[in-house]
Amino acid sequence: MHYNPKVINSKIKAMRSQIESLYHLNMNHVITNDNDMLVSVSYPLDKLVLYIIEEKDKLEYYMKTAQDRLNLFKNIIKNYSENEQQDVMRYMLSSGKVKNEGVIERLKVDIYKVESRKRQERQNQREELHRIEFNKHLEQVKKELS
């Protein structure tokens, strides 16, 4: 579902709606507590501002990663035949209820191959950075000991 445009758009819409609803929390409103008594509550403005900023950052991050996934998805299915692309879109629009097993399995494998290669590249970069930092530290220790 990470690559389904329908799911991505609905999640973005829900996140935006949640952020919009946060703006009203600084006003006093009445709720009932565990004893069914009415209690007036409001959220402190300074904490609310920080929370809204955090939620907006999460939304921005999600939108960026979702766009990257959609671009990957588009690049993969552009190599499929017209009928296969239609099968994939029917699968996406039906939330997985209507599917051509062969095409969807191929799509899963293709996405996995690309994601696995990217993951391996990131891992190699991290290992290289660790190696560089270790060598710097080793040189520093050698200098101090001599």
Ramachandran quadrant class, 28 (left: phi over 0; alpha: psi -120 to 50; beta: rest): beta
Strand partners, 31: 39
Q: How far apart are CA 58 and CA 84, in angstroms?
A: 34
Q: How far apart are CA 9 and CA 72, in angstroms?
A: 16
Tell me which H or E stretch contains 32: strand 29-32
- Structure confidence by residue, pLDDT tens digits, 22-40: 888 877 778 888 888 888 7
User: What was the pLDDT predicted at 45?
Assistant: 86
Token pair, residue 1, equals 């579902």
User: What was the pLDDT predicted at 8?
Assistant: 92
- Structure confidence by residue, pLDDT tens digits, 85-119: 999 999 998 888 888 889 999 999 999 999 999 99
Q: Which residue has the tokens 């799911």?
A: 7
User: What was the pLDDT predicted at 1?
Assistant: 59
Q: 32, 38 in Cβ contact below 8 A?
A: yes
Q: How far apart are CA 141 and CA 103, in angstroms?
A: 57
- Structure confidence by residue, pLDDT tens digits, 60-94: 999 999 999 999 999 999 999 999 999 999 999 88
pTM for the model: 0.72
For the chain, the farthest-separated pair of C-alpha atoms sits apart, in whole angstroms, at 75
User: What was the pLDDT predicted at 24?
Assistant: 83
Give 127's pLDDT tier (boundaries 50, 70, 90).
Answer: very high
Q: How far apart are CA 99 and CA 102, in angstroms?
A: 9
> In a 10 Å sphere around its CB, with 0-12 CB exposed, 13-18 middle and 19+ buried, how is residue 88 labelled?
buried
Please give the average per-residue pLDDT across 4-29, as a whole number.
89
Strand partners, 30: 40
Q: 92, 5 in Cβ contact below 8 A?
A: yes
